[in-house]
Amino acid sequence: MKTVLITGATSGIGKATAYELAKNKFRLIICGRRKQRLIAIEKELSTLTQVTSLCFDVRDQKAVDNCISNLPKDFQQVDILINNAGNAHGLDPVETGSIEDWDAMMDINVKGLLYVSKAIIPQMTLRSSGHIINIGSSAGKEVYPKGAVYCASKHAVVALTTGMRMDLNQYGIKVTAINPGLVETEFSKVRFKGGKQADMVYKGYKALQAEDIAEIIAFAISRPDHVNIADLLVFPSAQASSTMVKKEFN
């Protein structure tokens, strides 16, 4: 039974992925900041597979290291790392953007991914096996107005994924970037701080669902040893780019 560690597992893509992989009998380490949600998810998934939870903020490097270094014995060998934790804050031009929002995006989307990866990768290199999946975004493939900093953080995820794939190639470790377009989750509520703008993001078309991305992740990690899905961009059918979405209102 392979062990999978998922960050950002209390909602959205991370939570859906935990449920999808539990059905496929992977041993799970679910991570997140919201302890009560983690407890509830762990309890439910424990009926399907072996599961433990870690409560930490990926921005806190010491907490990341402490939690991962103290995993229960049966969970200490992580075969698959899914760097899913990420966020967006605001939709503003640089000249009026919030430094607090910028720090949150860079610290979680970039530095958090690095902290967790650095805590896990050494055991993979020792075994010369493993698979890392970084959840990026279509924003890592193109830049759109008022999204410069978020797009920069997701471009960094794509660059880090490519660099990690190169660095870890000698160890036979797979590295994958999965870059979703519009996915209907709590993402927009966080981005727009619960405002009316958040309610309109997914109106007038069928957005991707978290379960769609979870199924893609499950597919990627189930490929034969000689197959690595290096980089994948996925849109809902209504979306052609970050700024072009076909909406129909009655």
Beta strands in the chain (DSSP E): 3-6, 27-32, 51-55, 80-83, 131-135, 174-180, 183-184, 208-209, 231-234, 239-241, 244-245
Catalytic sites, residue numbers: 150, 154
Tell me which CATH code domain 3-245 carries: 3.40.50.720
Supply the pTM of this predicted model.
0.94
Q: For position 185, what pLDDT does the model report? A: 86
| Residue 178 near residue 136, CB atoms below 8 Å | yes
Q: Per residue of the chain (250 residues), give pLDDT as tens.
A: 999 999 999 999 999 999 999 999 999 999 999 999 999 999 999 999 999 999 999 999 999 999 999 999 999 999 999 999 999 998 999 999 999 999 999 999 999 999 999 999 999 999 999 999 999 999 999 999 999 999 999 999 999 999 999 999 999 999 999 999 999 987 666 666 666 666 788 899 999 999 999 999 999 999 999 999 999 999 999 999 999 999 987 6
Q: For position 194, what pLDDT does the model report? A: 62
Q: Dihedral sign, CA of 139, 189, 135, 101? A: positive
Q: For position 192, what pLDDT does the model report? A: 65
